[in-house]
Amino acid sequence: MRQKFLLFFIACCMSLSVMAQMDPYPTYPNPVLWTDVPDPDVICVDGNFYLVTTTMHQFPGVPIMRSKDLINWETIGYVVDKLTDSPRYDMQGGTIYGRGQWATSLKYHNGKFYVLFAPNEMGDMGRSYIYSAVDPAGPWELVSRLPHFHDCSLLFDDDGRVYVVYGTGELCELKPDLSGIIEGSHMKIFEREEDEKGLLEGSRMVKHNGKYYLLMISQVWGPGRHRREVCYRADDIHGPYEKNVILQSDLGGFPYVGQGTIVDSKDGDWYGVIFQDHGAVGRVITVMPCRWLDGWPMLGDEYGKVPENMRPVVKGQPVTPLMISDNFDSSTLGLQWQWNHNPVDAAWSLTERPGYLRLKTSRMADNLYLAPNTISQRMMGPYCSAEVELDVSHIKEGDRAGFCAFNGHSGVLTVTKKGKKYILTMTEEVINMDGQEKQVTNVEVTERERVEFKQGTIWLRIDGDFTLNRDIAQFYYSFDGGQQWHRIGPDYQMRFDYQRFFMGTRYAIFCYATRRKGGYVDVGGFNCEIKEN
């Protein structure tokens, strides 16, 4: 009997071991989105999570993403195709690099979705937008233009009143139709403590169990001080408020996480969605449990840390990366793509040569950073690789067409024409800007290597390594469809610079003229992959 029991016990242990190896509920590593998705706001409607993020000078703008599990996200639409308050959105008389749409608030009320965002600008360009839609994929309709609300949060209260919380503890009430501010409603709902004299912004207001919770990013400058997420809580939206630190955690050796929101699932479980600075790839998304302790939304695991791995809200969802290949066989542009500033619609086509994206020169540009119709999508970590096929046989002398790791500091592959020959150069390019209008004063260009060739089609590839302390891009070319790749130029050190673009590095394809219009490049395909190691 004793021997039979021992054998039964061993069999049970083996069975449990096999079940554990099967991992019926897999986890995903944080960050769940290792790409530039800053200033997130997230809501849950009918079991779907919806996220809005900041894309600044990229258009279409104000991307809306959807997920079932808080892990796998897909872009389902954009709120605006263009912004037109100034010719600077068209790179005329200046630029909007690092400006444009910022820190959008996303809410759902009475069967409609609403967004509120304010461009980071002065004067009329900085006036806030409110848009609404029945379907978050669009179309979206403009509701009103309001004064500038920095890092704002919209709140529809239970009694039908509507508020905006913004800046550092500022509040105002909106008219019921959202057409303007109710006169005399502006107030400060709290004053900074001595311990909050550094950065304190990124407002996200939620209501739970009758209480108001305002989440903000906090950074006190000084030795041993780290970025953190704080929460202000009150029984009345007008105050008084009390404060608690709800998260102070690093992750993977990168800086401490901060700025985001909390969201509840259809089952009533709560989660934190907070971004983390990740160097040149930008600001990435981490997901973590949110536990209500003593009436506070405490973020992280049982130790108050962002977990290295996170279970999805529901299992079995398909993997949907935000970096997506494209063979350009559709008559409409994929939602993974955005233009640098407003596009010139007449200067690109998916139908003039089916299966190709045609980029046509439309005006003179002195450099890459003033080139219209540069098209891009996010790079992703920890490792990524992307290649493009370029038919350059119709570029003219003075035209510049190519592929780059695009940011304020860019690694660039450029094809130019000289007589009957083509020249491929690998350069490092840095933009310098001046003034409120973000005028491009000069671009520092350092050539690293060049190659001459005669055939009209070339394949270009860029590999990205965004692991800790790396941020390296490597560049390649091929003349045989990628069967054999040749390295060009040295390792390129990518950077994130909040004073220039304030965004993560992107894969970008360009074609612009420096002498005369009329040339074009045909892009035959964009193939990319994300690598874990």
The tally of CA atoms less than 13 A away on the side-chain side of residue 339 is: 23
Domain match, 229 and 378 both? no
Identify the pLDDT of residue 194: 86
143, part of any domain: yes
The residue segments making up the domain with residue 180 are 39-245+257-263
310, part of any domain: no
Identify the pLDDT of residue 10: 35
Of the three residues 208, 230, 263, the one that is the final residue of a domain is: 263
What does pLDDT average to in each consecutive run of 10 residues of the chain (533 residues)?
38 36 73 98 98 98 98 98 96 96 97 97 94 98 98 97 98 98 98 90 98 96 92 98 97 96 96 98 98 98 96 93 96 97 98 98 96 98 98 98 98 97 98 94 98 97 98 98 97 94 97 97 97 78
What phi and psi, each to the nearest 5 degrees, are found at residue 447?
A: -80, 135
For 506, the token pair is 């992107």
What is Dmax (Cα atoms) for the chain? 94
CA distances from residue 356 to 187, 391, 395, 450, 525 in whole angstroms, order as listed:
55, 9, 15, 26, 7
Strands 439-453 and 421-434, sheet pairing: antiparallel
Domain match, 235 and 344 both? no
131, part of any domain: yes
269, part of any domain: no
For the domain that residue 154 is a member of, what is the CATH number?
2.115.10.20
The tally of CA atoms less than 13 A away on the side-chain side of residue 417 is: 23
204, part of any domain: yes
Domain match, 380 and 488 both? yes
pLDDT in tens, 179-192: 999 999 999 999 99
304, part of any domain: no
Our count of domains for the chain comes to: 2
Domain match, 212 and 87 both? yes
342, part of any domain: yes
User: What is the DSSP secondary-structure string of 472-517?
Assistant: EEEEEEESSTTSS-EE-S--EE----TTTT-S--EEEEEEEESS-S
Domain match, 372 and 227 both? no
Identify the pLDDT of residue 9: 34
Domain match, 343 and 466 both? yes
Nearest to 113 by CA among 129, 135, 128, 80: 135
125, part of any domain: yes
